[in-house]
Structures are given as structure tokens and as C-alpha cells.
Amino acid sequence: DVKVTQSSRYLVKRTGEKVFLECVQDMDHENMFWYRQDPGLGLRLIYFSYDVKMKEKGDIPEGYSVSREKKERFSLILESASTNQTSMYLCASSPTGKKGTQYFGPGTRLTVL
Amino acid sequence: AQSVTQPDIHITVSEGASLELRCNYSYGATPYLFWYVQSPGQGLQLLLKYFSGDTLVQGIKGFEAEFKRSQSSFNLRKPSVHWSDAAEYFCAVGAAGGATNKLIFGTGTLLAVQP
């Protein structure tokens, strides 16, 4: 089975802190994604990566950056956390050969105080 | 622009009753269509997908969905709901000719199941 793991299930940070959310997949997938999920808004794509060191902005990249130094790991960085970044963050991975089929991690619920 | 609409935010059904969750999409070309389910405290799991061919697709857990191009719809159905089906359901559309596996998700429908 494909496994996507996220470093934390719950995280509490202070406004202005730099926050790292880590995602690791074990199936050698080329594509990886970061979403945030908010009630009534569904999933919104923050960034995605289709190869090591490659990244593209999604629909809501402001306030976020990403890093993909190794194929299995995709990190989401909040350079200076703000209260409006309190949300559920979901990571997903997908092999290029399976159009649109994404495998999700369990999510990280981030609270910024 | 691509978009997905799930008009029902919240649905309650009785256990054993049939279920239909609505999904409408907007996309200029042939879409790839998906239904994902999110159980409480979990990530999303793929229920079923439509790429081409037979417009009625079968998925896991007894779910099916029908692609209707004329109505731009991809509704999810189940003939008899179980209490364990209580979850949030997301419809998604992907670009058939796209170079990446990006998806556009709907806002979700939260399903409650009454005993």
C-alpha cells in the first residue's frame, strides 16, 4: 500500500514563528502536493512539485514556500506564521502514470496563536 | 476555468436508505472525474474515478457514479447506506491532457447517517 506520512497530526505555533510541515511518501511518486482544508472551502492547492527541486504555485501560495530536495520528501514552510494560516494541511502524492489519482496523508491540524 | 460544484453542504440519510450526492463540473475539454471520501480524522481516500468509456463506474465500498456529459454531472450513488459511510465526500476534476496530476476539488458534502 502507498503510504504518505506527515510529521505531526497536531501543531500549535505562535504568530511570527517559522513553521515546517513535512511530508514523506514511500512509493517513488513523481508528483507531490500541499493543500489546505477549511470548512466550506474544500481543499485548496497551495503548491505542488512534479520532480525533485521543481515546484509550481497552486491557487493560494501567498505566505507559503516549499522545498523538495529528495523525491520522497516535500516540505511546506510558513515563513512567518499568521493566525489566518490556522487550518488543516493535507499532503498528497501521485504517480505520473495514474492521472489525477492522489494518495493523501492523514493531515496536520495547525493552530497559530 | 475549471470548477467543481457540490450543491449540498450537508445531507442526512437513514441507515439502509439510498444515497445520491451531486457534483457538477465546468471544464472545456474531456475531464477526468473523481470522488474521494474523508472519514473523521483521516486523509482522503479515492472512491472511484472516470477517465473514459462506460459512463457508469463502480468504486470501493459499494459506491458508483455516473458521468453525464450533457448535464456536466458526476453524481455519486449507493443503494443502501451503512453507518460507517458517515464522512465527508469530495468530487474532483482533473485535466485530461494535463502534464501534471493537478485536481480541482469541490467544497465537499458532509454525510450523516441516522440509525
List the CATH number of the domain containing A29. Answer: 2.60.40.10
Q: Does A31 touch chain B (CB under 8 A)?
A: yes
List chain A residues with pLDDT less than 70.
Answer: 1-2
Cα–Cα distances (Å) from A84 to A9, A34, B111, in that order, read: 19, 17, 27
B46 pairs with which residues across the strands?
B36
The grid coordinates listed for B108 are 465537499
With respect to residue A10, please indicate whether it lies within any of the assigned structural domains: yes
pLDDT, tens digit (0-9, with 9 covering 90-100), for B29-73:
778 899 999 998 888 999 999 988 889 999 999 999 999 999 999
Question: pLDDT at residue B101 above 90?
Answer: no
In single-letter form, the type of residue at position B29 comes to A
A112 belongs to a structural domain:
no
Average pLDDT over residues B91-112: 83
Q: Does residue B92 have a pLDDT over 70?
A: yes
- CB contact, 8 Å: A101 with chain B? yes
pLDDT at residue B98, rounded to an integer: 56
Q: Which residues, 6+ apart, have CB-to-CB distance to B70 below 8 Å?
A: none
- With cut-offs at 50, 70 and 90, classify the pLDDT of residue B99: low
Asked whether residue A108 is domain-assigned, the answer is no
pLDDT value of residue A61:
96
Domain count, chain A: 1
For residue A71, the enclosing domain spans 4-102
Smallest CA–CA distance from B48 into chain A, residue = A101
- Nearest by CB: B44 against A31, A94, A104: A104
Q: Which of B63, B98, B6 is nearest to A42 (CA)?
A: B6
The CB density around residue A33, as the number of other CB atoms within 10 Å, is: 26
Total tally of structural domains belonging to chain B: 1
Give Cα separations from B96 to A20, A80, B103, B111 (angstroms): 33, 37, 10, 29
CATH for B25: 2.60.40.10
Which pLDDT value is given to residue B71? 93
B100 in reach of chain A (CB within 8 A) = yes
Q: What are phi and psi of A85, to 5 degrees?
A: -100, 5
Domain of B27 in residue numbering reads as: 3-114
pLDDT tens-digit map of B6-16: 999 999 999 99
